[in-house]
A and B are shown apart, each in its own frame.
Chain A
Amino acid sequence: MSSVPLGPLHPAFKEPINFKLKLEGEFVTDAEVRIGYTHRGIEKLGEKKTWIQFIFISEKICGICSSSHQGCYVQGVERLTGIVPEKRGIYIRTLTWELERMHSHLLWLGVLMHEIGIETMFMYTWRDRERVLDILEKLGGRRVAYSAITYGGARRDLSDSLIQQIIRLSDFILERSKFYENFILNDKRFLARTKGIGTLAKAEAEELSVVGPVARASGIPIDVRKTGYAAYYEAPFEVVVEKEGDVNAGALVRAKELEVSANIIKWIVKNLPQGKINVEVAPFSKLPEGETISRVEAPRGELFYYLKSNGSTNLERIKIRTPTLANIQAVAHTLKGHYLADVPVIAAGIDPCMGCMDRVVTLNEKGKKKVMTETELIDYGIKWYEKG
């Protein structure tokens, strides 16, 4: 019996996270997850900045699903202030989200292939992803944090040549997603590493309240897009659901969602309404008092924002719950009973994004204060060190 720490710095994880594994030989008997290595205090920063400034900070929360965060925040503020978004802007916003889902899923497929050890497939997926990033760059101006979304719609309009390029891209992705599906279903070595690995049964998935593609791979048909925000209440699409709940099913769900995204994009480009793309907002205007929530389906699952305003130019409280936080407990649960070689595959299987996940967690223990003055904190520190 040995205890092996996996992380915080480990080649299997692109971002810091720690798994304490109890091993018997190569067999994992117990796993414990520790998070919080990349806490950046973004929620607090959001309270210091005005509601217009935070729109550019919100997309820095995640490097991959940047516009999902931005869109979720903007959607919440629109609900709070009563700004009615322009229809064309909403369509372009939805287009950005779907392009982002494509690039995120392709990135994840590449990471999974890398964890399994097929470097060639990693190169292929990331090469395809590069084409999506090129379009996103033309749409927003940057490759990763494209700032494509603003109040009342989108920041930049689509030109005719860009629309042609987007149609070509979605045809290309449709073709490639067939290739990936074929690979995921038929490659023997890939199946040997992913079939039956990290299986999360439907009941367990419901109990652990997982979200997004992880839940859909376990047979739970949840998708926030089906609640019908933005252009999704008009766009026709089907929720991809698989039954097995293992890493292979997760990969299949994402490969099929590439196809779904490409079809949604084609529909949006075809039915793009004319008109304005955003609403002008006075720079230092005050927010009305109140609170609201906002949900979008980020590439990794349900993204949740809680916004509270007290009537000033700044928001009083911003609470962000990212999909990774909902899914990370499922990893610690499914790791038990697998080999050490499966740990990176299972951990990568939920598409973790530690950077977005880390929030401050305050435990309400009995007899302990939550807020400390400086001298109290120093006393506490001295006592803590004397004890240890």
Chain B
Amino acid sequence: MIIEAIEFVILIIALSFLMEYIERKIRAKVQQRIGPKYTGLLGILQPFADFLKLIFKEDVTSYSSDWILSIVSTLFLLTSSIALAFFVPFGTNNPIINYEYNLLASIVLITIYSLFVGMLGFSLTGSYETVGVGRMLQQVVSYETPYIISLLIPSLLVGSLNFSRIIEYQKSFPLFLFFPISFVVSLMSIMAKLEKAPFDVPEAETEIGGGWLSEISSWKLASIKLASNISFLVNASIIVDLYLGGSNNYIFPSQNLGVLYFTIKLLFVVFLLTLISSVLARYKIDQVVSFFWKYATPLTILQLILLFLVKMFS
């Protein structure tokens, strides 16, 4: 059991590096660049090389920062993002930890991730960090509500908080056809959560020099980047499971190739998110708040109301 878990963790970390490689390659193609090329076959080991290089750098910590809190919250951040992976099915119908309410457990872990990021931000005291953490918390307050509502909408239709049931329910059609609005909102929320390009307000390097990340170095920065990559992988997988039908295939139904179908859908989501993030200009924090509270949240609630109406009259 323990060996299996360790294997799974290593698999997840490797997958997250692969994901970063694919993301960087797509971004480079959009920008007419080459992207990572030399480390490993076609540069596939570049994210891992970057990770190793960061780990062996000197750890610089300022005297005014709360170093115990920063270490603790970094470790919790990494652990919570890995722990989330245990509750999410990757290509099969059943996740590693399969019990009745594993979607609920995932939502708790998704929320806890933001909490630890906030904790980490508050352990640092520079002026850029202060502004960055302020922005980050405003962003968390903005995207959290629509994201969680849009994660719960499929389970409300199916009537179960279990991923396997929701995937089984999508045997003949994916749910994003039913809920296009909340599908899009959840994609945008992932970008806000992981601070990808149009929502990279808390770390905007041209404004506040890296924001809450600017004082973090060495293994802490490497762990945070890794946690962010894993979180990207797992959150995208959740969207694939909930909205795109997980391992189901609607053109060539097959029991054995679930992992392949899942991977193709996951790559599609990654491609979509990378494309959006490389062509949009960065939001300002007031624009982020108004985007999520003026448009995203009311639209997801509208989606919820539509769902209730459908359930009532069918």
Contact = CB atoms under 8 A, between A and B. Distances in A.
Given A341-B201, A341-B204, A192 B31 contact: no
B286 interface: yes
Interface string A14-35: 0000000001011000000000
Given A2-B130, A26-B131, A340-B207, A117 B284 contact: no
Contacts of B127: 2, 4-5
Given A4-B131, A26-B285, A12 B206 contact: yes
B281 A187 contact: yes
A343 B127 CA distance: 16
Interface in A304-344: 339-344
Nearest to A116: B281
B62 interface: no
B282 A123 contact: no
Secondary structure call for the B interface: helix
Interface string A103-131: 00000000001111111100110010000
Contacts of A340: 131, 207-208
B158 interface: no
B311 interface: no
Contacts of A127: 32
A141 interface: no
B281 A342 contact: no
Interface residues of B, number: 32
Contacts of B201: 341
B31 A120 contact: yes
Contacts of B279: 118, 120
Contacts of B284: 193, 339, 341-342
Contact of A344 (B134, B197, B207): B207
A386 to B, nearest CB: 29
Nearest to B33: A123
Nearest to B280: A189
Interface string B107-146: 0000000000000000000011011001100000000000
B121 to A, nearest CB: 16
A127 B282 CA distance: 22
Interface in B284-299: 284-287
How big is the A interface, by class?
20 to 34
A258 to B, nearest CB: 20
Contacts of B285: 26, 339, 341
A25 B289 CA distance: 15
B284 to A, nearest CB: 4
Interface string A174-191: 000000000000010110
A16 to B, nearest CB: 14
B305 interface: no
A343 B208 CA distance: 10
A344 B209 CA distance: 11
Most buried by A among B206, B210, B284, B286: B206
Interface in B256-297: 278-287
Interface string B187-229: 0000000000110110011111110000000000000000000
Contacts of A114: 206
A11 interface: yes
Contacts of B206: 11-12, 114-115, 117, 344
Contacts of B83: none
B244 to A, nearest CB: 26
A294 to B, nearest CB: 36
Given A25-B134, A123-B33, A127-B32, A341 B207 contact: yes
A12 B131 contact: no
A278 B32 CA distance: 42
B184 interface: no
A238 to B, nearest CB: 30
Nearest to A10: B209
B209 A11 contact: yes
Contacts of B209: 10-12
Interface of B: 27, 30-33, 127-128, 130-131, 134-135, 197-198, 200-201, 204-210, 278-287
Interface of A: 2, 4-5, 10-12, 23, 25-26, 113-120, 123-124, 127, 187, 189-190, 192-193, 339-344
24 contacts: A2-B127, A4-B128, A11-B205, A12-B206, A23-B131, A26-B131, A26-B134, A26-B135, A117-B206, A117-B281, A117-B282, A118-B279, A118-B281, A118-B282, A123-B33, A124-B31, A189-B198, A190-B281, A192-B283, A193-B284, A341-B204, A341-B284, A344-B206, A344-B207
Given A123-B31, A189-B198, 12 more contacts: A4-B127, A26-B135, A118-B279, A119-B27, A119-B278, A120-B30, A124-B32, A127-B32, A189-B281, A192-B281, A339-B285, A341-B201
